[in-house]
Amino acid sequence: MKRILSGIQPTGRLHLGNYFGMMKPALEQQGQGDLFLFIADYHALTSVPDPDQLRSDIHSVAVDFLACGLDPGKTTFYRQSDIPEVTELSWLLSVVTPMGLLERCHSYKDKIARGIPPSQGLFSYPVLMAADILAMRSDAVPVGRDQKQHLEVTRDIAGRFNLRYGQVFVIPEPDIRDEVAVVPGIDGQKMSKSYNNTIEIFADPDEIRRKVMRIVTDSTPVEAPKDPGRCSLFALFRLFADEDEHQELAARYRAGGVAYSAVKKELASRIVDYFAPFRRKREELLANPDYVQAVLAEGARKARSEAQKTLKAARKAVGLES
């Protein structure tokens, strides 16, 4: 059975970009493979310096995943920091990782440009990510096209290690999903907390409506034809519409007579309705924190068992064990 791995950083409230870009595609694979999902709390340390905030965000992400349909019986769900083997493995990988490979990573440059203080942790982020993936011997890693470079770095590092020490690591394959690779924010850029342009999936319904009404559109008159392919509002609406509904709206766009305000109101209603059952489940989970922690503990037990096997093989390969 194919092993699939994906992770998400606990850096605030989850938004539509997180849900459609990572959560929904990952949860749809439950039962289709050996699915490992983890909360990347070590990675979050590069951008969340407040300990109380980090603890809160970790719990919130765990609750959100369970509320949105994560089944602990079908998925190994765990916190990255509960798997100490990953950090040791990242060191073993770092000794075969060329500086030039890391210097070419655009994520480091992008984060520095957005004002995140440069640090060794931020710079070597791809090595820890490689350890996350390789420790679980993952066959496939779902990523957006904008994140493909991260997986290419992992493949490069694993290949270099295998070339030097023998066939220790499985070389993972990217699972690129173009249709959900980039979810636009209310300003038209990629939806991201860094850009302050998000629509949170568990925000108060009134807050969701306010944010949707702020989605940036062009100044094309109501009666004029519009290009759905260049409209971020249309792209968001499509996420909540079936094929017939999105084709119908596309035809109305091209014919003219569509008011952006009407589309925004319909989109807001669809977002609120879509997440309503998840919101109810989330309230139940917030009232039962012991259950959430028990799920993470069991997931960590399973994940550690896998990581220990990988680390043992890597340690033996480099000469740290007989």
Q: Quick check: is 193 catalytic? A: yes
Determine contact, residues 212/267, Cβ cutoff 8 Å. Answer: yes
Between 59-63, 95-99, 142-146, 224-228, the lowest mean confidence (pLDDT) is in: 142-146
**Of these residues, 111, 211, 226, 264, which one is catalytic?**
111
Res 109: pLDDT:
81
Give the pairing type, strands 34-39 and 75-79: parallel
**Of these residues, 24, 74, 148, 190, which one is catalytic?**
190
Q: Which residues pair with 176 in a beta bridge?
A: 143
Q: How confident is the model at residue 26 (pLDDT cuts 50, 70, 90)?
A: confident
d(CA 143, CA 153): 13
Residues in the chain: 322
Q: Which residues pair with 143 in a beta bridge?
A: 176
Res 198: pLDDT:
97
Res 322: pLDDT:
84
d(CA 269, CA 239): 13
Q: What pTM does this model have?
A: 0.91
Q: Quick check: is 111 catalytic? A: yes
Q: Quick check: is 190 catalytic? A: yes
d(CA 271, CA 207): 11
Q: How confident is the model at residue 32 (pLDDT cuts 50, 70, 90)?
A: confident
> Could you give phi then psi for residue 38, rounded to 5 degrees?
-135, 155
The answer to whether domain 3-181+289-318 has CATH 3.40.50.620 is yes
d(CA 39, CA 63): 11
Q: Is it true that 3-181+289-318 and 203-283 share their CATH fold?
A: no
Q: What is the DSSP string of 151-188?
A: HHHHHHHHHHHHHHH-S-S---EEEE-GGGS--B-TTS
Q: How confident is the model at residue 114 (pLDDT cuts 50, 70, 90)?
A: confident
**All structural domains of the chain with their residue ranges:** 3-181+289-318, 203-283
Can you tell me which residue has the tokens 């409209």?
A: 231
**Of these residues, 193, 211, 226, 264, which one is catalytic?**
193
Q: How confident is the model at residue 259 (pLDDT cuts 50, 70, 90)?
A: very high
Q: What is the mean pLDDT of residues 302-319?
A: 98
Tell me which of 17 and 144 has the higher pLDDT: 17
Q: How confident is the model at residue 146 (pLDDT cuts 50, 70, 90)?
A: low
Q: Give the sheet arrangement for strand 34-39, strand by strand.
A: 75-79, 34-39, 3-8, 140-143, 173-176
H or E element, residue 256 = none
Tell the CATH topology of 203-283.
Tyrosyl-Transfer RNA Synthetase (1.10.240)
